[in-house]
Chain A
Amino acid sequence: MPVSLDWYLIVAAALFCIGLYGVLSRRNAIGILMGIELMLNAVNINLVAFWRYLSPSTSTGQVFAIFAFTVAAAEAAVGLALIIAIYRSRDTVIIEDIDLLKE
């Protein structure tokens, strides 16, 4: 195979770290959610790359990737619903202003 496994892993690691930076540096809750989606995608690239290079004759890696898709979809739906609910009651989605437990 012309592209070696290492390159896919490096790209996935870079994508994960970009997502991590987004999660840690954004003030807006929706921006944080986008960072999480990037990180989940990086994990999926890893799963599919390992499937392709380590055991392409079985379907285990792809099945795992499909379950990761499912969980990501559920996470996005619930996360955005929470953000909308918070926006309704607190009138903000800036994470620093959502400090109900501090008061």
Chain B
Amino acid sequence: MVQIIVFIICSLITLGAAAAVVTSKNLFHSALYLMLSFVGVAGLYVLLEAPFLAAVQILVYVGAIAVLIVFAIMLTRRLMAKDLVQRNAQWAWSALGAVLLFAVLSVILLRVNWPVVDAVVPDETITILGQDLMGTYMLPFEVASVLLLVALVGSVIIARDKE
């Protein structure tokens, strides 16, 4: 019962904040709602018994990506004028497309008979996760670190002043 209530609260926070992100006139407010939406998703991870991912979600998304977005908004601030239209001409078609996609997805998701198992999450999930990252998934793990390094260097080079 408690889980259902927490699930509903987290879902409402996530989806409500997400709706505010895409509809808000002020882009800065959008960024703040984005943080709230990320926190709601972290709540869903806790409910799914993935506490490590919830912590990473808070650290990476709320702590890094959302702050990065706020920085970018500040750096391009002149375009945040109050009378600026934030929606393009095709917004009505976009909304129709998004609603249609949601309808199709929900019908498909509810029709498929997922092979749900009734197992419990082992206590040492984080231990298993760490061992797998350093064992079975060693190569992707190292490639991911190279990817991060390349992205870091690349964004510095792209964003720096040419003079």
Contacts and interface: CB of A to CB of B under 8 A. Distances in A.
Q: Is the interface on chain A under 10, 10 to 19, 20 to 34, or 35 or more residues?
A: 35 or more
B109 A81 contact: no
Interface in B74-114: 75-76, 79, 85-88, 90-91, 93-95, 97-99, 101-102, 105-106, 109-110, 114
Interface of B is mostly: helix
Contacts of A51: 48, 50
Interface in B30-75: 30-31, 34, 37-38, 41, 44-45, 47-50, 52-53, 56-57, 60-61, 64-65, 68-69, 71-73, 75
Contacts of A70: 144, 147-148
A63 interface: yes
A71 B150 CA distance: 11
Contacts of B98: 17-18, 20-21, 24
Interface of A is mostly: helix
B52 to A, nearest CB: 7
A18 B151 contact: no
Contacts of B7: 3, 7
Nearest to A18: B18
Interface residues of B, number: 86
A8 B4 CA distance: 11
A93 B74 CA distance: 12
Which 8 residue pairs are nearest across A and B when measured between Cβ atoms?
Answer: A22-B22, A24-B94, A74-B151, A81-B155, A25-B91, A81-B159, A21-B98, A17-B102
